[in-house]
Amino acid sequence: MSGDNAVIAAGIGVVLCGAAAFVLGPWLMRRIPEPVLEEGDSKPLYAELAGQGFATRAAYWCGATAAVAGGLLGWTLGTSAGLAAWLVLAVAGAVLGYIDARTRYLPSAIIWPTYLLVGVALVAAALMTGEWGSLRRAAIAGVIGFGVFYLLWSVFKRGVGFGDVRLSGLLSMALGWLGWGEFVLGLYGGFFLGAAIGIVLTAAKVFQRKQLFPFGPFMLVGALVGVLAGEPLARWYVG
């Protein structure tokens, strides 16, 4: 990857992801259906997060977050075939992270369509480059990540939500396309970061033990770190 490609890809990531998340974030929040809650549970309505008007707090937050993520992804991946899938994830991740931080829910109405978009982008990347091994690794990683988080959810439902399970498969698929080092660091590093901070916040009584902890933002940050540092870390470990 040349320096020019990195600069071009970073610029594309900043502009496209920032603009898309700025517009789509509030638009989606006003339209996605509310989850069915268990008796006694409550949450802010998704539509209330979007606020009133075009330029809202949600729009600025989602746009800025996606722009930063898109720029870092573009700088790291350059104009590689897998960049499109990660730019889609930058936009969806900015919206999902904002929603989860505010409501402690990750809406499947956003996650499942993102699976489709990322999957199509990765298949297109394999068709363009012939990297069928990367596509196969992405599929295997997606199954592994989903399976591990499903197991965690099944034994620790108050600590891991099923939205985290759905998100884990999506992130694992995209990380697996890049490599096993990115997959391990990105998925499980984000989980352990969220677990550590969750324990600290619970001990400080910021969160109650019975409250669901928003793992989504930490999983998303972990995935970004996996993209940025996974390959160098894998090289160091193997070397």
- Please indicate whether residue 201 or residue 180 has the higher confidence score (pLDDT): 180
- Residue 112: how many other CB atoms lie within 10 Å: 11
The pLDDT of residue 236 is above 70: no
Half-sphere exposure of 221 (CA within 13 A, CB side): 14
Cβ atoms of 110 and 216 closer than 8 Å: no
The percentage of residues in the chain with a pLDDT greater than 70, rounded to a whole number, is 87
Model pLDDT, residue 73: 97
**If you average pLDDT over residues 36-40, what whole number do you get?**
76
114 vs 70: CA distance, rounded Å:
16
Model pLDDT, residue 197: 75
**If you average pLDDT over residues 159-165, what whole number do you get?**
87
Both tokens of 187, joined, read 């998925």
**If you average pLDDT over residues 6-34, what whole number do you get?**
95
**If you average pLDDT over residues 167-180, what whole number do you get?**
96
Secondary structure (3-state) at 234? helix
Mean of the per-residue pLDDT values of the chain: 89
Reported as type and span, the H/E element at residue 78 is none
The pLDDT of residue 210 is above 70: no
- Please indicate whether residue 199 or residue 168 has the higher confidence score (pLDDT): 168
Q: Which of 35-44, 134-143, 172-181 has the lowest mean pLDDT?
A: 35-44
Model pLDDT, residue 201: 63
Q: Which of 22-31, 42-51, 158-167 has the highest mean pLDDT?
A: 22-31
In the chain, what is the straight-line distance between the N-terminal and C-terminal CA atoms, in Å? 22
Model pLDDT, residue 156: 78
72-93 pLDDT, tens digit each:
999 999 999 999 999 999 999 9
Cβ atoms of 162 and 194 closer than 8 Å: no
Nearest CA to 108 out of 33, 48, 160, 37 is that of 33
